[in-house]
Structure 1
Amino acid sequence: MTSEHPIDSKNWYDVYEKANERETELPLITVQELASLQSGGQAGKDFLVIDNMIPGAVNFPAQSLHVSLESLTVALSHIPFFIFHCSKSVGRGPRAARWFVEALRKQERDGSFGREKRVAILQGGILRWEEVYGSGSLKARGQANGLKSIQL
């Protein structure tokens, strides 16, 4: 007897509560601003792009992100700026970003760490990135293309 886990279903997002959009309105960052950040900073130290396909990004699928937020936000607490995206940055990316912000706020209330974190959403998502900068192979996903290597 096999049963599909809810997070593996087509409607995985129904498994988790919806983040409070009104209390968690997030700024947008353009692909040009991200490219500038990449050329002047170090991914994994100064900022972290969360999802995939963009050089220097790490992949935390939205389907499994929610259950690991508490430990993930602690493990990444040394990073001051997070950029989330998905294909167009209108669904998974913003939802995951809001969950992340809510987890950060909870830790700040609990006194886990007090350093202010910034979270933004990549305007236009990976589709806009590919439109402006092209797309790389899946094999090169997460590689920094000349940027300093990621150290988490």
Structure 2
Amino acid sequence: MASTDEVKSATPAPWYAAYPTAQSEVVTISREEVLAMLQNLDGKSNTTRDFVLVDLRRNDFEGGTIRGSINLPAQSLYPTLPVIYSIFKAAGLKKVIWYCGSSRGRGSRATAWFADYLLSVGDTSMQSLALAGGVRGWATAGEKYVALMDEYDEAVWAKAK
């Protein structure tokens, strides 16, 4: 019979263990504030979008996503931070809003990693924010939120309530 230490060592480390622990504090943004930002853009072609929503889900990418989000699975994020930053900077973004299912794991980790990167390059004009409650909180918050989702699947979110 295997000892507890042998079982622990046989368990693979989580994917994020290969990367440094983030030093920055996680700053969140409420879904109400993001909703208002999206509604301000709705139908206004002359409005400049200075934020991006980043859905970090990979294997659990189901039930829909917040309209206009890009999908960057968290597992590939850390090594690509310099490229992602360059793209976001060239686009003139001021806020990068990260989320996963709940924004307590991947969302928080990505938010802090990107904040660390912003500090390392001395960029004080861009913010790294975690969407409070993640996509699950968004999808279960009511019709005005669901109306701003692509590929919404009610059956998936009914299980999450």
TM-score normalized with structure 1 length: 0.71
TM-score normalized with structure 2 length: 0.67
Q: Which of residues 132, 139, 143 is equivalent to 1:130?
A: 139
2:72 counterpart residue number = 60
Structure 1 residues 48 and 68, CA gap change in structure 2 (3 angstroms): same
Structure 1 residues 63 and 115, CA gap change in structure 2 (3 angstroms): same
Q: Which runs of 5+ in 1 are unaligned?
A: 1-8, 109-113, 140-152
Cα distance between partner residues in 1 of 2:27 and 2:114? 14
Q: Is the 8 A contact 1:41 1:47 kept in 2?
A: no
Matched, 1:17 2:31: no
Structure 1 residues 44 and 16, CA gap change in structure 2 (3 angstroms): farther
| Alignment root-mean-square deviation, CA | 2.5
Higher relative contact order (CA 8 A, sep 6+): 1
Q: Which has the higher strand share?
A: 2
- Pair member with larger Rg: 2
Runs in 1 of length 4+ with deviation above 3 angstroms? 41-45
Matched, 1:34 2:19: no
Q: Is the 8 A contact 1:44 1:79 kept in 2?
A: no
How far the C-alpha of 1:27 sits from its partner, in A, is 2.4
Q: What is the identity percentage for the equivalent residue pairs of Structure 1 and Structure 2?
A: 28
Structure 1 residues 91 and 49, CA gap change in structure 2 (3 angstroms): same
Matched, 1:97 2:101: no
1:106 counterpart residue number = 120
